[in-house]
Structure 1
Amino acid sequence: MTSQTKPIDAYSLPTPNGQKVHIMLEELEVPWTYHRIDIGKGDQFKPDFLAISPNNKIPAIVDPEGPGGTPISIFESGAILKYLATKFGKFYPADPRQQVRVDEWVFWQAGGFGPMLGQNHHFALYAPEKIPYAIKRYVDETHRLYGVLNKQLEAQDYIAGDYSIADIMSIGWAQGWERQGQDINDFPNVKAWIERLGQRPAVVKGLQIGKDQPSSDLSQDKDAQKILFNQR
């Protein structure tokens, strides 16, 4: 199994998307360093950060021990998790058919479960004008997506069979069901899955990393809050 000598640098925030990388690095038990990108102060637009994340969004990582032993930077949470899983040979299956199953649910999260829940947050919580049509649209789509996930978890403990990056991609978003206008009791399989992942120390720690570090007061900054839930 690949080892890691130098810490991996993670540029992130304790948001549902940043938490994916935190959890993954904790699960891998490799050395890593958390660097807070304070979006309330515009850190995401600084040249040093744009050099590794040209879409000016968190999370991003720099692995000083990349392919061939030279550093590599990676942005987009799905790409980061797949890179780490492949490098360290964990949480991503070796069998090609099972890889397809994991990839499907990684892209499902990145293309739907994250963005749609993010729009839910925006229109229901942060938009200066409350637009009933938009709120209903995204709350309803959130409900539909939870239903898809609930169906997938009907006969198995984890999204793609064994615990994998598919689960790590979705847990940060799924645990916010209440703020998304959902009743978790409508989705008993998702509820059990959230509780199951909550028994994993790396998940618990990954969800908390960065929450105790000082930054600008994002709770009072509506523009920053809008950005938070569009980070990937």
Structure 2
Amino acid sequence: MSLNKKKILPIIIIFIAVLALLGLGVTFFTLFFDHAILLRNGTFYRADVNEKVAAVTFDDGPSYDWTPRILDALKRLNAKATFFMIGDHVLKYPIVAKRVAAEGHDIGIHSMGHHNYLYLTKYELQKDIEDSRALIRQVTGKDTTLFRPPKAWLSKREKEKIKSLGYTVVLWSLNSKDWVHFDDKYITKYILRNIRPGDIILFHDSGGSFRLEGGDRKETVLAVTRIIEKLRESGYRFVTISELLKMDKNEKR
């Protein structure tokens, strides 16, 4: 090995180690702190309302196992929600996607494959969103301009670009963290303690801690049922994101 290679190798090793540590840092940050708090500017994450309403939303579906169970629960409760769908999952489970629309729930775009938008060009970003929208419309018969970015990560420039195309960027104000907390009682207690009128609540109808499919969403089904029942007892009503947007008093979104 030449002298130059001997000098460069430690630098490369250090660089790789730093990247690995940064990746771990982002993961743990997301686990223990809702990073969307830092990204809300320029998005619709809660509504300014005068009445006790909230919107329940689900990411990463549709799934073959859990979306139907969640739909069954919502049907029993006579409650509507908003499902932010991944295009690849719509292709894989079209019957489930159609059922979401047929039962009167709102549908939003959650990208084609849940890739991080920070690494896409403007053209790639626009194409991914529009391909997802076209697919959802083709499969469900329902058009949508609601968009939620994968992992919530979007730069200011990307938000402006997406909004200029006529989309509403939707985040959330209350994160159930159902993808990391496997106790429906904990999730329920957290939501009930922190709920405010106009909140948008984040759940998942597919995936697990670090994957988009194959996870166990049993606790989500139980928590959603209990949360809706308990909040209704205290006067809350549940609406879709489209309905919540119409009720919002903040006209600058």
Q: Fold-level match, TM-score > 0.5?
A: no
User: TM-score, with normalisation over the residues of structure 1?
Assistant: 0.25
Between structures 1 and 2, the one with greater strand share? 2
> Which structure has the larger Rg over C-alpha atoms?
2
